[in-house]
Structure 1
């Protein structure tokens, strides 16, 4: 495998999930979001001279490519809906790309930290905070006591808090609420 192919593969593995999350927050369609991300990576791969740039430039290129693709898609969709007289269209000009990107990056970093939790704690944390199950539902599903679930949630939060700055932890708190 060539150096460029390896660099591209590493870039894909590092950013694909965050880019999908970012795009999903804009289009609210998982498959469409994955298509936009895939198209951005194809555009990057076809633009061989940019692959020599540093990682930050490539990451910015991917986010910008996706942002522009979503805007173009939104404009086309708006025109199509106008002529087909479908349901009212959400105006994508008001989308907050910066906040969506910050949220995607934050979630990506948090996922890396969550992955370092012990398996049982990680599972409980995901069920409660990411899937929205109640403590009682988790206890029933995992056949554990409610106190065990509460303890594992607290341990997970304390671990994550210890790995994040106070400001970053506040962002996490508001994302999870």
Structure 2
């Protein structure tokens, strides 16, 4: 049984190429989702006003084989060649596991586990109350209890994955990954 693979990639972009890089990265990310085994991609831009030019890319693959195949595609190789004049240095790749996949850090260090757990709890608690409150009236008694629970669980996962966690991680970035060495 294969396990989902999460890879965090960091690229440092030259300021004068930031707009073109973002445009090309968004297009590449969109097209890359059509590749076999590509499960998702999240783009992390530098915080406004930070002066940082580090961009993060979090990619998810269905398996190690899918990850390796993706990095051999013409799509990936062409994108690397296209952005080469826009970036400084080589990309930094880091495979992530567990909660680390939600909390990529541009310099490769994950936040402390207690911060990741606390932020995840802050996300899960209200979502686990709101999704059933919204879906139970719609589902009523139409579905068997186990199937209704599956629909509710899917609603929670979708809400956390595509809405709540990306927003919370973005909002909490200064706390999760302080740049001045504070805890």
Same fold (TM over 0.5): no
Return the structure number with greater helix share: 1
TM bin (shorter chain): under 0.3
Return the structure number with greater strand share: 2
TM-score (norm 1): 0.28
Larger Rg: 1
Higher relative CO (Cα under 8 Å, sequence separation at least 6) belongs to: 2
TM-score (norm 2): 0.27
